[in-house]
């Protein structure tokens, strides 16, 4: 196998991407489809699922909320029947959560963020594990955030969940390594798109400054002074699924231009 070939995932990998109809999830799903993988995506947005499927006719889709245990069960059953098993799980689903001081946040908003961003990954993983154990290429990619290595004032539920994902990843890498399953976390930084625009807007309001001022503040905290593209995260996922990533496990890999502070 040439070095270039080692950098490509093998054709036919069976891949599940949660929240795969838009944003980072869609970029990752599209990249795996381009690499000739068999891909199933789920999402809570039926319109986005239909639009993605129209653009990618070979994809399998399912409407599912990963914070709902019964729907997670149906999702993994679909992976087994439609894909014939599972080689790669991309645990991507998550929400931005509330912005505000800790004593201003509602218990409902805190709980919802933790239920989706952290508990949702647990629910998917516990059902995916048996499928991955019988794969000869088992890989789990848990999508965290640079907020999983840096404290994030006014975004504490989100940051707490993303730190939890890193701990989950490192623990599972030890637990599942003897089964030949690799487990890594990808920590995107400030990724260009609708979500970060909403976050910057909300934080600007909370801080009493303009959107432009808050955006400039975000960029000033990135060594490269630019946002990450969704495709940058997808490229990292593809590499980790390639033979070149065969001995990378238990890692929290930032794709962020070196975010220094948030």
Are residue 208 and residue 168 in the same domain, yes or no? Answer: no
Q: What is the pTM of this model?
A: 0.93
For the record, the structure tokens of 41 come out as: 């995506």
* Residue 43, CA atoms < 13 Å, CB-side half-sphere: 22
Position 1 pLDDT exceeds 80: no
Q: Specify the pLDDT at position 5.
A: 85
Catalytic residue among 152, 158, 211, 218: 158
pLDDT tens-digit series, residues 119-144: 999 999 999 999 999 999 999 999 99
Q: Specify the pLDDT at position 196.
A: 84
Number of compact structural domains in the chain: 2
Are residue 122 and residue 208 in the same domain, yes or no? Answer: no
Structural domain contains residue 168:
yes
Position 207 pLDDT exceeds 90: no
Q: Specify the pLDDT at position 88.
A: 98
Position 95 pLDDT exceeds 90: yes
Q: Specify the pLDDT at position 194.
A: 84
Domain of residue 221 covers 190-227
Structural domain contains residue 141:
yes
Q: Which residue has the tokens 């890999």?
A: 253
Are residue 245 and residue 183 in the same domain, yes or no? Answer: yes
Say whether 218 is catalytic.
Answer: no
Are residue 105 and residue 206 in the same domain, yes or no? Answer: no
Structural domain contains residue 261:
no
Q: Specify the length of the chain in residues.
A: 262
Closest C-alpha among 243, 241, 236, 237 to residue 5: 243
Structural domain contains residue 260:
no
CB within 8 A of 132, min separation 6: which ones?
86, 87, 89, 138, 139, 140, 176, 179, 181
pLDDT tens-digit series, residues 157-183: 999 999 999 999 999 999 999 999 999
């Amino acid at each position: 196998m040439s070095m270039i070939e080692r950098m490509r995932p093998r054709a036919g990998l069976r891949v599940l991407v949660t929240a795969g109809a838009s944003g980072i999830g869609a970029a990752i799903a599209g990249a795996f489809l381009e690499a000739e993988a068999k891909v199933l995506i789920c999402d809570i947005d039926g319109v986005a699922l239909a639009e993605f499927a129209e653009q990618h006719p070979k994809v399998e889709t399912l409407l599912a909320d990963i914070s709902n245990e019964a729907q997670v069960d149906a999702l993994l059953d679909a992976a087994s029947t439609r894909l014939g098993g599972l080689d790669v799980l991309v645990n991507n689903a998550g929400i931005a959560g509330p912005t505000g001081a800790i004593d201003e946040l509602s218990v409902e908003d805190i709980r919802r963020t933790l239920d989706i961003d952290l508990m949702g990954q647990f629910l998917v993983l516990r059902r995916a594990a048996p499928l991955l154990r019988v794969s000869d290429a088992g890989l789990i990619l848990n999508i965290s955030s640079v907020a999983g290595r840096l404290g994030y004032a006014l975004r504490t539920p989100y940051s707490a969940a993303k730190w939890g994902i890193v701990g989950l990843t490192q623990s599972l890498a030890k637990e599942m390594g003897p089964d030949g399953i690799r487990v890594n976390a990808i920590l995107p930084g400030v990724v260009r798109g609708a979500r970060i625009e909403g976050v910057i807007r909300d934080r600007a309001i909370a801080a009493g400054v303009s959107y432009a001022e808050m955006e400039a503040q975000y960029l000033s905290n990135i060594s490269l002074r630019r946002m990450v593209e969704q495709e940058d995260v997808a490229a990292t996922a593809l590499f980790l699924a390639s033979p070149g990533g065969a001995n990378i496990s238990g890692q929290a890999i930032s794709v962020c231009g070196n975010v220094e502070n948030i």
